[in-house]
Amino acid sequence: MELEIRAREALIAHAREAAPAECCGVLLGRPGAIIDAVRTRNAADETTRRFLIDPLDHFAAIRAARLRGLEVVGFYHSHPASAPEPSARDVDEFSYPGHLYAIVSLQSEPPEIRLFRFTDGKFQDPGVGS
């Protein structure tokens, strides 16, 4: 799985701008490549250290992907002060089998991005590092 530089830069910029809150968004691409990231509003209460993609933004991202000849290949969010590993809440709340899931960690410099594929109720490494 290739994470193109444009998408990588968009993920990091969004995470930095949202910190100390978590940011979230939608990953656009084609099979084998993440080409872009679309920011969405985080509909979760800022004090909860969690994310919830705003449903209206989610649908807008789907429409934007179609107009560009792309697909929604996954989702992302940030961990402003922790490692880029899925939390127990991430595992419990994620519900898009087969999709990619990116976590941007601002715990170190440069920020680290890890990608996972959600399969059989678990997050698995699809073979991409930061």
Question: How far, CA to CA in Å, does 34 sit from each of 3, 21, 55, 74, 127?
Answer: 5, 24, 21, 9, 13
- Residue 110: pLDDT above 70? yes
Q: Which helix (H) or strand (E) holds 112?
A: strand 112-119
- Residue 129: pLDDT above 50? no
Identify the CATH number of the domain defined by range 2-124.
Answer: 3.40.140.10
- Residue 23: pLDDT above 50? yes
Whole-structure pTM value = 0.88
Question: How far, CA to CA in Å, does 118 sit from each of 19, 67, 75, 93?
Answer: 25, 26, 11, 11
Q: Name the DSSP letter for residue 47.
A: G
Residue 31's nearest CA partner among 65, 77, 72 is 72
Which residues form the catalytic set?
Answer: 22
